[in-house]
Amino acid sequence: MGLKFLYRSAFIFSLLGMLLLVLDFGFDKSPKIQQIFIGFYFVVIILGIVTVLVRYLKSHTHIKRSVLIFDGVGIFITLTILYAHFLDVKGHVSLLYNDNWVKFAIIITFIREFSERHINIKRTVVNPAQLFILSFLGIIGLGVLLLMLPNATHNGISFLNALFTSTSAVCVTGLIVVDTGSYFTIFGQTVILCLIQAGGIGILTVASYFGYFFKGGATYENQLTLNDLTGVGKLGEVFSTLRRILLITFSIEFVTALLIFFSFENSVFNTLFERFFFSVFHAISAFCNAGFSTLPNNLYEEEFRSNYALQSVILIAFVLGGLGFPIVVNIIKYLKYFFIIKLFYVTGKQQIHKPWVLNINSRITLVTTIALTTVATVLFYINEYDNVLAGHRGIGKFVTALFGAATPRTAGFNTIDMGALHFSTLMMIFLLMWVGASPASTGGGIKTNTFAIATLNFLSLARGKSKIEVFRREIADISVRRAFAIIALSLVVIGSGIILLSIFDAQKSLLSLAFECFSAYSTVGLSIGITAQLSEMGKFVIILIMFIGRVSMLTFLIAVFKKARHQNYQYPKEEIIIN
């Protein structure tokens, strides 16, 4: 009873510490109030350390080495911060004498205590689709509260604009109604960055893996739910897949941030912190396909539109993010196998051949992605050669054309003047936005595999075949049905959005309204410049479309309708007149 009380108290205090942390950053305080906050932080940190030590003393199970390392490093850092802040009179570690380090220790304490909580997901109460939707709604709601704090903006923000920005960030869309760089403070921009990261990889992914990491396991019911959410297929691989997702995400974002940091000259930014924050912000925004930028005109700013090294780095990051986590994992597995084969060939040793290392999903995704990007780049280059590409020379034209062809598939960054594009180019961008990224990725749209299946289906029908075959495999009927359901539902949502916007914002052109709806549904973030000028109802319509586009209309229907029981009978089949 005493231990349970200690553990519960530690979690409650760490939660209160996080709430105070939000208030600390969000409001201006007097020095006296600040000292009270610091005192409470001290209590939380000490209680957290004591609780961790007690767990080790009372534990009767084997503790993983990784957990021991995490706790050891965490306690060492925390004690060092406490020493620097409260006991280091002579200033031996003055670098750590900063309130922000204490706040960092609070975050570590909360993560540790939250991960020890036993959260059981009852599938009879809430199904995976409902849980997925609720998690996004929860993050959006929290984002609204944080963005409306006084210190998040320079001059305050309305509830609707905060809701729009939070939804756009969590749904990794990138549409904005206020300028991110000038309207929000560093705290506000950090909130947006955290919302992008949480929306990109999913808050359930992070929370579930941390819980598994510290406890070493999860309930069977939780594993089933996470298996449905991640689409892993094998129950035993759920947490190893979650680990790979987090590792790939943070590794790519880290490398991208480094490359962005060194792609500038020193004169571009006033301080080292500005350069560091810009690099981290755009690395996360790029990999998560969010399209948010701290620049007023995105990457079309004069000092950035000709930085082809920066554009190439961001391009690679959002393409990798748009491929999807399972595809990236499978590509890494294939590359590892390929190089091992080459190594064994050079050394003269025999290596056992493994068929289908690159699976059917990866093959379809890669072929479709490469085909769409190649065709779009060539058309963009030819169509805009003497228009928006006129100011670029040589390799610059190609990089800008490639960037302009790849970004509509949910990335949302722009290095050109969108309003100056030819009408035919805009029509191509409509198609690219609608197709979007790949399944299980950070992007939106109907997805490349859906587009591929639809294309293969009408080719099969034209050739008089009754089944869809590709790469010596037959596509399952359920995949075909899902693909056409997604296509039909996407057109319903986008069409409804255009009709509603034409009612609420009748003065805007149909082209600009349609562009906004396609961009919102596919979580792209590109705009012809009317987002901020939309009416309140128009903004609300876009918010709904962004949310539906991120979680998908099919997920909504699965969440609403009760799952039908399998019936052991079959009615006679009849053909319906279609054409």
The three-state (H, E, C) secondary structure of 353-376, written as one string: CCCCCCCHHHHHHHHHHHHHHHHH
Comparing CA positions, the residue from 277, 308, 492 lying closest to residue 401 is: 308
* Confidence at 91, pLDDT banded by 50, 70, 90: low
Comparing CA positions, the residue from 120, 115, 105 lying closest to residue 214 is: 115
**Residue corresponding to tokens 């000292």:** 35
Domain ranges of the chain: 2-115, 128-319, 364-560
Model confidence at 225: pLDDT above 60: no
Residues 409 and 372 sit within 8 Å (Cβ to Cβ): yes
- DSSP line for 367-426: HHHHHHHHHHHHHHHHHTTTTTTTT--THHHHHHHHHHHHTTTTT---SS-GGGS-HHHH
**From CA 410, how far away is CA 288, in angstroms rounded?**
10
Model confidence at 351: pLDDT above 80: no
DSSP lists the bridge partners of residue 474 as 469
Distance, CA of 422 to chain centre: 31
* Confidence at 164, pLDDT banded by 50, 70, 90: very high
Mean pLDDT confidence for 354-374: 86
> What are the helix (H) ranges across 59-185?
65-82, 99-115, 128-147, 159-170, 180-183
Provide the pLDDT for residue 213. Answer: 43
* Confidence at 261, pLDDT banded by 50, 70, 90: very high
Provide the pLDDT for residue 270. Answer: 84
Choose the most confident range, by mean pLDDT, from 55-64, 203-212, 266-275: 266-275
Element (H, E) at 470: strand 469-470
Provide the pLDDT for residue 496. Answer: 94
Distance, CA of 355 to chain centre: 32
Residues 324 and 441 sit within 8 Å (Cβ to Cβ): yes
Distance, CA of 183 to chain centre: 23
Residues 96 and 81 sit within 8 Å (Cβ to Cβ): yes
Residues 329 and 244 sit within 8 Å (Cβ to Cβ): yes
Provide the pLDDT for residue 220. Answer: 43
Mean pLDDT of the chain: 82
Q: 207 or 196: whose pLDDT is higher?
A: 196
Provide the pLDDT for residue 160. Answer: 94
> What are the helix (H) ranges across 179-267?
180-183, 186-201, 203-215, 220-230, 238-261
Max CA distance (Å), the chain: 88
Residues 517 and 494 sit within 8 Å (Cβ to Cβ): yes
Comparing CA positions, the residue from 38, 57, 288, 4 lying closest to residue 173 is: 288
Q: 59 or 247: whose pLDDT is higher?
A: 247
Mean pLDDT confidence for 280-295: 91
Comparing CA positions, the residue from 556, 563, 575 lying closest to residue 132 is: 556
Comparing CA positions, the residue from 7, 8, 36 lying closest to residue 23 is: 36
Structure-token pair, residue 106: 């609070």
* Confidence at 209, pLDDT banded by 50, 70, 90: very low
**Residue corresponding to tokens 């941390």:** 210
- Weakest-pLDDT range from 92-96, 157-161, 364-368, 387-391: 92-96
Provide the pLDDT for residue 113. Answer: 79
Provide the pLDDT for residue 122. Answer: 59
* Confidence at 210, pLDDT banded by 50, 70, 90: very low
Model confidence at 366: pLDDT above 50: yes
Comparing CA positions, the residue from 170, 114, 161, 177 lying closest to residue 137 is: 170
Proportion of the chain above pLDDT 90, given as a percent: 31
pTM: 0.87
Provide the pLDDT for residue 92. Answer: 52
| Helix-strand-coil split of the chain, %, nearest 5 | 70, 0, 30
* Confidence at 185, pLDDT banded by 50, 70, 90: very high
Judge residue 273's burial from the number of C-beta atoms within 10 Å of its C-beta, 0-12 exposed, 13-18 middle, 19 or more buried. exposed
Provide the pLDDT for residue 515. Answer: 93
**From CA 251, how far away is CA 324, in angstroms rounded?**
15
* Three-point CA angle 565, 570, 576, nearest 5°: 110
SS3 578: coil
- Weakest-pLDDT range from 236-245, 391-400, 522-531: 236-245
Model confidence at 25: pLDDT above 80: yes
* Confidence at 575, pLDDT banded by 50, 70, 90: confident
Model confidence at 186: pLDDT above 60: yes
* Confidence at 165, pLDDT banded by 50, 70, 90: very high
Question: What is the torsional sign of CA 264, 270, 271, 274?
Answer: negative
Provide the pLDDT for residue 202. Answer: 67
Q: What are phi and psi of 469, to 5 degrees?
A: -125, 135
Choose the most confident range, by mean pLDDT, from 11-15, 86-90, 425-429, 552-556: 425-429
Q: What is the pLDDT of residues 306-330, one digit of tens each?
A: 889 999 999 999 998 888 878 888 8
Comparing CA positions, the residue from 540, 473, 471 lying closest to residue 503 is: 540
Model confidence at 147: pLDDT above 70: yes
